[in-house]
Amino acid sequence: MKVFITGVAGFLGSHLADRLIDLGYEVVGVDNMVGGFKENINPKMKFYKEDCNNLEKMKEYMKDCEIVFHAACTAPDGFSVFSPFYITQNTFQNTMSVLSAAAQNNVKKFIYCSSMARYGSQPNLPYTEEMECIPVTPYGVAKYASEQVIKQICELNHINYTILVPHNIMGPRQNYTDPYRNVAAIMINKMLKGEQPIIYGDGEQKRCFSFVGDCINCIIKVIENDNLNGEIINIGPDEEFVSINDLAKEIANILEFDLNPIYVKDRPNEVKLATCSSDKARKLLGYKTKTTLRKGLQEMVKDIKKKGPKDFEYNYVIEINNDNTPDTWKKELI
Ligand SMILES: NC(=O)c1ccc[n+]([C@@H]2O[C@H](COP(=O)([O-])OP(=O)(O)OC[C@H]3O[C@@H](n4cnc5c(N)ncnc54)[C@H](O)[C@@H]3O)[C@@H](O)[C@H]2O)c1
């Protein structure tokens, strides 16, 4: 079976490619390398350095693939209110290109990697799949809008489709030089450099962190099970709902770092309390949290220590640069 993966040089896409290749699948992958790394690309796959917005190329490279897993995206949720054009182009528009190519190639199954940003800020926790989506960022809107069009096009063309909703995935290979997202990786990189982590607001925002291996187990089930057509499924744990302050403490504890975080202004439109129910994933995909938060952080520390701490790379242009824009990005202070 031939699987087409977008964003294959990134964190999630590369882990998925490795697992599929181990299981005997043929993998074709694309990535424009805006956030991907060469060392993540499994040499046993057919790789194309290409932007997903190039519809003609997507059509060509996807030929004879039966399954499409679409992960390519620029996903800095909090930053998207400052660069809505670029971020939505790489979230919604690129999905339209991959989706159109998939329909033109008559693929059997389309799996979309959405985000918990689709839910926005809900009055009740944990977030469940049937809740009305009220995203509060351009990234969240673009993810949710993508889901709607995937439903339309896949239903019309009889393509089996599933929407996956991962949240705060972490683990080895996560980009730790990206100053716009991946809070745990940023903190580990900072502390390994001997610098205090920066926390937005009072640090009492709370999240659950999903270990990448546990997410991949679920994705494999979706690839192998044809009875999940039209399902939307949260992927990740609903245990260990932790504040950003406590996350920093846990990392500092692992690194034996003398913690004294730097607190800065709240980030506009940041959702305070967000956690997703894993009930549906448990029921449909046999989801089980095998890796605790602490174990997951230890794995990340090992990976980042091996590669060495690095400077942050401010790769995105700030489209709307004003008083709302955090100094951490404007003045490159992370
Ligand atoms: N990591 C998380 O915590 C998390 C949480 C929720 C949802 N997601 C979603 O999971 C998917 C994968 O996330 P990730 O953490 O692996 O991110 P990542 O940045 O590590 O990987 C994304 C990859 O997509 C590539 N890419 C971006 N735009 C592209 C384009 N136009 N054409 C081709 N390649 C492009 C990047 O170079 C990168 O390698 C994304 O869709 C993201 O929105 C991730």
CA of 306 to the centre of ligand 1 (A): 23
Tell me which of 4, 6, 8, 12 to substitute to probe ligand 1's pocket, judged by most ligand atoms within 8 Å of the beta carbon: 12
Which residues belong to the active site? 139
Confidence of residue 148 (pLDDT cuts 50, 70, 90): very high
Give 161-184 pLDDT, tens digit per residue.
999 999 999 999 999 999 999 999
What is the distance, to the nearest Å, from the Cα of residue 7 to the centroid of all Cα atoms in its chain? Answer: 10
Q: What is the pLDDT of residues 284-306, one digit of tens each?
A: 999 999 999 999 999 999 999 99
Backbone angles phi, psi at 157, to 5 degrees: -105, 15
Pocket of ligand 1 (CB under 6 A): 6-7, 9-13, 30-36, 51-53, 71-75, 90, 94, 113, 115, 166-169, 175
144 plus 190 within the same structural domain: no
Number of independent structural domains in the chain = 2
281 located within any domain: no
Predicted pLDDT of residue 94: 98
pLDDT at residue number 181: 96
> 36 near 9, Cβ under 8 Å?
yes
Calculate mean pLDDT across residues 69-97: 98
| Angstrom distances, CA of residue 223 to CA of 39, 111, 167, 217, 287 | 25, 8, 19, 10, 14
Same domain, yes or no: 247 and 119 = no
Q: What is the pLDDT of residue 333?
A: 93
Residue 294 belongs to domain spanning: 171-207+239-274+290-330
Residues 57 and 74 in one domain: yes
Regarding whether 303 and 176 lie in a shared domain, the answer is: yes
In a domain, 283, yes or no: no
Q: What is the pLDDT of residue 135?
A: 98
Same domain, 158 and 18: yes
pLDDT of residue 310: 98
| Same domain (yes/no): 197, 226 | no
Q: Report how far ligand 1's centroid is from the alpha carbon of 26 (Å).
A: 21
117-120 long-range contacts (CB < 8 A, ≥24 apart) are 117/77, 117/143, 118/143, 118/144, 118/147, 118/165, 119/274, 119/276, 120/271
Judged on CB neighbours under 10 Å (0-12, 13-18, 19+), 139 is buried
Stated pTM of the model: 0.98
Q: What is the pLDDT of residue 163?
A: 98
Range 7-36 average pLDDT: 98
Q: What is the CATH number of the domain that holds 177?
A: 3.90.25.10
Which CATH number characterizes residue 68's domain? Answer: 3.40.50.720
